[in-house]
Amino acid sequence: MTRHVIVGTGVAGVSAGLAIRSVDPGAEIVLIGHEPEKYYSRPGLAYLLSSEIPERMLFPMQARDFKARGLTVLDGIVERIDPTACSLHLRGGQEIAYDRLLVATGAAAVLPDLPGMDLKGVVKLDDFSDARRILRLARRGRRAVVVGGGITALEIVEGLARRGLRVHYLLRKERYWANVLDEAESRIVEGRLRHEGVTLHYHSDVEALLGKRGRVTGLRLAGGEQLACSLVAFAVGIRPRLELARAAGLNLDRGILVNEYLETGVARIYAAGDAAQVYDPLSGRHILDSLWNPAREQGRVAGLNMAGQRTAYIKKAAFNVTRLAGLTTTIIGAVGGGQDADLVGIARGDSEAWRDLPHAIACQTHTEVNRVRVMVGRRTLIGAVVMGDQTLSQPLQELITEQVDISPMRAALIQPGGAVVDRLLDFWSEWRQTHGPQ
């Protein structure tokens, strides 16, 4: 009997386990994870902060569901992989042999190196225990400071504001998420935050955290200004967890490099999810995402390959639907570029692909809160940001991921003052009649 071992009980690991089971009823499948909660909706933690959902609802599968599918879940920290002996070493000394191994160790928040980072009340948002800590601190505190960019920073800002804290949000430069959003989009988000009572500070760099008796009481900015607070949250980016892979001699760049079969190059070892850096046919490069669905799909494909069903992973245009300052926002494909001072690399719910904009023409339409920006390439649409009204979210998702030839409407679309929404909707309805889901 083949033994498949999976390190990590996140969505990539679980999806791999389910895929192996779907093609091999007899295989032994062991998942090892060190979070006590094991498998839950990590993006759902944001809705725990905003009180939209109770803890118990964040679990898509219960222990009995794992059991029913013959997936063994072990609690433990894998400390070392021995690729020669094909075995794993857990903290505490246990050794587990594998026939096939999946490394799905996810990513962890990057924390800045500042004086006072060890003070109580300084937090990040990676996992369940972080979310609980933030909620505990929010109950006691009145003022909070959030530092960073991307989706997670805003989710923390909004969660805390909703719970009645006075929130100060620090940005290092002049606008929010400058390498994914355009200026108008950043301003919409910032305006809405202000409306919710959040104080934004531009050009603000934290120099040190200040504390008393081991607890944070405030921070000092580079200009000398001090802000008092009992909670400081950092969301300045994430980094794949690579320690195991590095020690095992896997090929690394920013993440674990894999081919389209999710193979690492070391015999019998695969990688998937936030930890993996996968080939992106659209840009021709290996890129990182921190997105639930790519992690799920990579896990599935890795699982099939581990079980002997050779299957290629074809990466699609990176896609996320999220809320930015309460405004539903869809981000698809390539929409921006350059650096964002608030983030080191990428954040949660983010993709390197979004910053990979080749030559394209932006056409946009804008009302007070609803905004659509479409990046028009030579023959296809290559990216879009849809804020507020989501009528175009699904049409653009399909036109961009299916790389539909838009030549027939291109000229009309990029014409200044063109009716962007109507043109796109008409074109999409027509395309769907002939090509879309029947």
Ligand X SMILES: Cc1cc2nc3c(=O)[nH]c(=O)nc-3n(C[C@H](O)[C@H](O)[C@H](O)COP(=O)(O)OP(=O)(O)OC[C@H]3O[C@@H](n4cnc5c(N)ncnc54)[C@H](O)[C@@H]3O)c2cc1C
Q: What string marks each residue from 266 to 305 as x (binds another protein by CB under 8 A) or -?
A: --------------------------xx------------
For residue 389, count CB atoms less than 10 angstroms from its CB and return exposed for 0-12, middle for 13-18, buried for 19 or more.
middle
Based on the shown chain and the rule CB under 6 A, indicate whether residue 42 belongs to the binding site for ligand X.
Answer: yes
Between helices 183-195 and 150-162, what is the axis angle to 10°? 20
Of 8, 17, 44, 148, the residue at the interface with another protein (CB under 8 A) is 44
Which region among 2-10, 256-264, 406-414, 417-425 touches ligand X (by CB under 6 A)? Answer: 2-10
Q: Which residues contact 145 (CB under 8 A, 6 or more apart)?
A: 167, 168, 169, 170, 219, 227, 229, 231, 232, 233
User: Shortest Cβ distance from residue 1 to ligand X (Å)?
Assistant: 23
Nearer to ligand X, 55 or 205 (CB): 55
State the Cα–Cα distance between residues 282 and 288, nearest whole angstrom. Answer: 13
What's the min distance (Å) between Cβ of 291 and another protein? 9
Where do we find the tokens 């089971």?
21
What character string, x for contact with ligand X (CB under 6 A) and - otherwise, covers 132-171? -------------------xx--x----------------
Q: How far is Cα 33 from Cα 10, in angstroms, rounded to an integer? A: 8
Residues 326-355 that bind another protein (CB under 8 A): 328, 330
**Calpha distance 229→191 (Å, rounded):** 23
The span of 19-27, 78-86, 109-117, 386-394 binding another protein (CB under 8 A) equals 386-394
Alpha-carbon distance of 139 to 46, in angstroms, equals 16
Contact with ligand X (CB under 6 A) among 3, 23, 30, 34: 34
Q: Give the DSSP letter string of 114-174.
A: -TTTTSBTEE--SSHHHHHHHHHHHHH-SEEEEEE-HHHHHHHHHHHHHTT-EEEEE-SSS
| Residue 57 touches which member of another protein, ligand X, none, C-beta under 5-8 Å by kind | another protein
| Parallel/antiparallel/unpaired status of strands 95-97 and 87-90 | antiparallel
Q: Verify binding: residue 393, another protein, rule CB under 8 A.
A: yes
Whichever of 434 and 438 has its CB closer to another protein, that residue is 438
**Residue 50, Cα to own-chain centre: how many angstroms?**
18
d(CA 5, CA 85): 14
Tokens in use for 393? Answer: 């979210």
Task: State residue 28 phi and psi, 5-degree precision.
Answer: -90, 130
Token pair of 247, please? Answer: 């020690």
CB of residue 98 to ligand X, shortest distance in Å: 14
User: Minimum Å distance from CB 272 to another protein?
Assistant: 17
CB closer to another protein out of 41 and 217: 41
Which of 133, 143, 323, 432 is the binder for another protein (CB under 8 A)? Answer: 323
Residue 256 binds to ligand X (criterion: CB under 6 A): no
Distance CA 334, CA 155 (A): 23
Q: Which amino acid is at 307?
A: A
Nearer to ligand X, 152 or 186 (CB): 152
Residue of the chain from 6, 12, 29, 269 that contacts ligand X (CB under 6 A): 12
Interface with ligand X, residue 124, by CB under 6 A: no
Using only the alpha carbons of the chain, give its radius of gyration: 23
Dihedral in degrees, nearest 10, Cα atoms 317, 126, 136, 41: 50
| Residue 330 contact among another protein, ligand X, none, beta carbon within 5 to 8 Å by kind | another protein
DSSP state at residue 58: G
Ramachandran quadrant class, 203 (left: phi over 0; alpha: psi -120 to 50; beta: rest): left
> According to CB under 6 A, which one of 4, 5, 10, 400 is a site residue for ligand X?
10
**Nearest approach, Cβ of residue 319 and ligand X (Å):** 8
Residue appearing with tokens 């999810």: 273
Interface with ligand X, residue 273, by CB under 6 A:
yes
Q: Which residues contact 132 (CB under 8 A, 6 or more apart)?
A: none
Window 70 to 99, contacts with ligand X (CB under 6 A): 77-78
Which of 2, 22, 59, 76 touches another protein by CB under 8 A? 59
Site pattern 12..41 for another protein (x: CB under 8 A)? -----------------------------x
Window of 101-109, 132-140, 190-198, 388-396 that interacts with another protein by CB under 8 A: 388-396
List interacting residues with ligand X (CB under 6 A): 7-13, 32-35, 42-43, 45-46, 77-78, 104-107, 125-126, 151-152, 155, 241, 244, 273-275, 290-293, 295, 320, 322, 348-349
List interacting residues with another protein (CB under 8 A): 11, 41-44, 47, 52-54, 57-60, 292-293, 319, 321-323, 328, 330, 390, 393-394, 397, 437-438
